[in-house]
Amino acid sequence: MNAVNRSDSQSSLEVLHVLRDDGTVDPATDPRLSADDVLRLYAAMVRTRRIDERLVNLQRQGRIGFHIGSWGEEASVVGAAYAMRSQDYMFPAYREFGAALFRGFSLQRYMDNMFGNANDPVKGRQMPDHYSCVAAKFGSVSSPIGTQMTHAVGFAWGAKIRGEDIVTLSFFGEGSTSSNEFHNAMNFAGVFHVPTVLFCRNNHWAISVPSERQSASATFAEKGTAYGVRFVRCDGNDVLAVIRATRDAVERAAAGGGPTLVEALTYRMSGHSTSDDPTIYRSEQQLEPWRRRDPIERLRQHLGVLGVWDDAKEEKLATEIEAEIQAAVDNAEATEAPSLSSMFDDVFKDLPWHLREQRDELLGGPRASGHH
């Protein structure tokens, strides 16, 4: 193994781009997707943003308790999901519901999670936006910072030991590079040449802490050097650049080339969550340059260059997405809460006597009307 697995002697300041300002692509970096796939990516990114907008409104109306979205980061989330192979696994932070949906997670089940109803895949035991989908090979969201990185590395290490052709990807923000788990994951992945992609969404904010206060290094990608991990930086608002960087990393890992740290440069256009007010620590002027680089608008411009998009198709897509979201919200809101007895499920394979006793006492005891 090389002492340092750098990105083909690439400088840590270089950034991979594909889309040009006029909507054309750089042929030297173009991942060469079909027009149908570009259309599918665009629809997924628009759908992700519309869901974000609806969930923020639902939270403000008091109909759900919390939401943490990906407004402005859709290209990084959906692009990375597109680049993974069907057998590969993804381990999310908490902004990647768009990746889960792209991989096959049901919008209805996602909305059930937001309401915490009886059809919620995690049975109402987690706060909203903490979901999981085995069918989509998408790990469980967990609030502690960085834990998904070590999960992804360990899962890939296990697959390597078993001789399985599996690559994992873990999403995390640049703030997570200050966590213990970033060191643990990077060090283990580098030493054991684990087939994994460590995907850093550098959205410039760790809640209210700007990226320049998070690290003194020139880039987050270059942190890979100390661990012997290849690194690459890409324009995280250019979905084609994200796909090129991630797909190359996946192919390299699958071929035995080891891990890659990807730094996708994007921007969190909203607050950290619906519990955050970014106007307290961020000026409106800071948003303006990133509005001009909106990942959805850039891809729509590219579709125009390809000659496969127009206003009528845009309106049709918006109508279809709105109807899908409304149906999912209506169904989720009309579904009953999880049963009291369900809190005892999945704890043990066979429920022990003392838990059976507690369950029976709970179910037989008095309850306040209308509440659990």
Alpha-carbon distance values, 314 to 38, 76, 177, 297, 310 (Å): 14, 22, 38, 12, 6
Q: Output the CA angle 192-148-164, nearest 5 degrees.
A: 50
Are 25 and 303 in contact by the 8 Å Cβ rule? The answer is: no
Residue 372 has pLDDT above 70, yes or no: no
Q: Residue 371 — very low, low, confident or very high, per pLDDT cuts 50/70/90?
A: low
Scored b (16 or more CB within 10 A) or e, 288-313 reads eebeebbbbebbbbbbeeeeebeeee
pLDDT for the residue numbered 11: 67
Largest separation between any pair of C-alpha atoms in the chain: 70
| pLDDT at residue 9 tops 90 | no
Mean pLDDT, residues 196-212 taken together:
97
In this model, does residue 112 exceed pLDDT 90? yes
Q: How many residues does the chain have?
A: 372
Q: Report how far residue 20's alpha carbon sits from residue 7's, in angstroms, rounded to the nearest whole number.
A: 22
Mean pLDDT over 85-105 rounds to: 97
| CATH code, residues 35-338 | 3.40.50.970
Question: Does pLDDT of 297 surpass 50?
Answer: yes
Residue 113 pLDDT grade (very low, low, confident, very high; cuts 50, 70, 90): very high
SS3 180: helix
Residue-range domain boundaries for the chain:
35-338, 340-372
Q: What's the distance, CA 116 to chain centroid? A: 20
Residue 254 makes CB contacts below 8 A (sequence gap 6+) with: 85, 165, 167, 195
Residue found under tokens 């080891």: 258
Rg of the chain (C-alpha set): 21
